[in-house]
Every structure is written in structure tokens, then in C-alpha cells.
Chain A
Amino acid sequence: MGDLLSLFVNSVFIGNILLAYFLGICSFIAVSKTIETATGLGLAVIFVLTVTSPVNWLIYHGLLAPGALAWAGFPEMDLSFLKYITFIAVIAAIVQAVEMVIDRYSPLLYASLGVFLPLIAVNCAILGTSLFMVERNHTFVESVVFGAGSGTGWMLAIVSMAAIRKKVRYADVPAGLDGFGFIMIIAGLMAMTFMMFSGITL
């Protein structure tokens, strides 16, 4: 239990998928203009990550990993090279399904979240989390915790960024630095702040 907690805290702060591994920066920049939309996208990312990470775990360890097909009589089979294409297909399919379910049962939620869902399918944070989960040899339970933790970390980062951008809206930034460059500098400072948690022991 303590291990899972520390995995969660690590994936939220020290190993923040956005600020330490640079995943999902495209939408981080595009959607951090207001706090409301940032929160919406953040929630969608948490949800999608918590679902896709374990689903991809099952597919990888049930079908693709070396020796995973032993039950079907192919103990020598190693299909792990197919993981990229399988994961991206699973993610696209899940996002599509989530979109349809939300649209059907909660039009209100769909109105606020729906626009972000297609964006998520190509968000590298989602694919990255699934690939990290394989690379780091997580167990099934760990993959759920890691997915949720990565999502939470991502949301925390984008919501803080939206809040900071609101505060600095009227700041007098030198021409040329204004815009993308300035956001990167802020992100750098945020990354430093998040790294301060690296001394933490649980």
C-alpha cells in the first residue's frame, strides 16, 4: 500500500509526465488560456489515462509480451514490436467510446468536455504513459495507480499554468519573448518547483 502511495506521489510530482518528461506539451500550451478549459481537459486526461493504462496493460501482457501467447500454443512468440500501433489504436478507440457514452448520457458534461476528447487521442502523454508502464514493468494495480497519478500530475500542471497565465496577462513582457517563449520560461520555473518534491520520502 505504501509503495502504491509513493508511486502515485512520484508520478504526480517528481516524475510529472509534463514537467519532467515533456509529454502533452502541445495541448498544455494551447488549452491553458483559461482555468475552466484547463480544468476540463485535465479531468478528461485523468479519466482517459486511468482507463487506457490498465487496458493497454491487459493487452500487452495478454497478447503482445514475449511469451504472452503461451496459452494459445505459441510460447516463442514475441509481438512486443506491435505495441506502438496497438496502443495508439486502443487509445483512439477508447477515446471515441468515451465520447459516445458521455454524449448519450450526459449532454451537459459532453458540452464542456466533448471538444477536448478528440484532442486527447493524439496527446503524447496518453501514449507515453502506456509505454512507460511497459518499460517500467508495472503490475496491473500499479498501472492503474500510475495512470491516475500521471493524469493528476498533468492536470495539476495545466491548471497551475492557466492560473499563472491569468496573473501575468498584463505583464510587460519584451517583444519576441511574449507568447510561446514566455510560457516555456514559466514552465521551466514550474518544473523546478515540482522537482523540489524529489527529497520527499514516504
Chain B
Amino acid sequence: MKLKGKAWRFGDDVDTDAIIPARYLISSDPKFLAGHCMEDADPEFVKKAKAGDIIVAGKNFGCGSSREHAPVSIKAAGLSCVIAHSFARIFYRNAFNMGLLILESPDAAAAVRTGDELEVDVDRGIILNLTTGEQYHTHPVPPFMQELLRVGGLMPYVREQLSGE
């Protein structure tokens, strides 16, 4: 699997309130949540970001709440993945369960700037910065996780497994 998109750079400790403020958690509709994605970090983000774009952030992305609405809003807003130096524990687990691709890459987190065009080779764990020509490394996503992402998350995955029995 290969992805290509423009990078949007955020800092360290982007919390779940910044990703999707609690005032919008009166709904779990992905489209509604997508409309407010990253709103308190950058109020214009949803207008500026295009389908397939990539969030790049520093340490501890997704710290704070257990709300799955956070990865849901990022995915529903059309972002293809999040690359960060590191992720908060609950967010990490939720992202895979929701079918949002996330990649840890301290190299990419240190170097990538907003506007850089990135190409991500998910199988090989290589991130290519098409703007600067730099290459960064991340762990390849194992086949099980890729399958989880392909079907759209843990529950569709479980359903597919059940129907195959």
C-alpha cells in the first residue's frame, strides 16, 4: 500500500480536545465530527486540508481522552494517515480499531514541514519527502494491521471473520 499527500505539521502533545473538542461529542456521526477536526489546534484546518493529506506531529499525539471520536474525525475528514514522533496509548489502540493508519517516525516528525509532499510506502515502512528528497523510516505495518485498515477497523474485521467461519 502506498499513500501520497500533503503534510500538515503540528507540535508535541496534540490532545484529544484539540483533535475533536468535547462540545461536539453530542454526536457520534463521522461526517459531523469531520467538520470540526483539529478545530482548536487550527480553526481553518478542515477547509484547508484535502482528501489524502497527512498529519505530521511531534511527541505524544492524541494524549488525553479515550474518545474514539478523535481518530474517527481524522479519518472522516479524509486524512490518509497521521505520522508522529510518538502516540498516546489509548489513541494508538483506538486508531487501529477505527481503521485510521498511524505511523511512528521520529525522523519524519523532526524534518517534515507543512506543505511538503509525502509518499508513504506502508509495506516497507519508508516515508519519502518529495519536496526535499529526504527519506525517513518507520516500522512497516504488519499484514494483520493492514487488513484491519483495509476493511475499516476492528468491528468490520470481526464481522468479516465471523461471516467467513
| A complexed with B | no
Identify the B interface with A (CB < 8 A): none
Identify the A interface with B (CB < 8 A): none
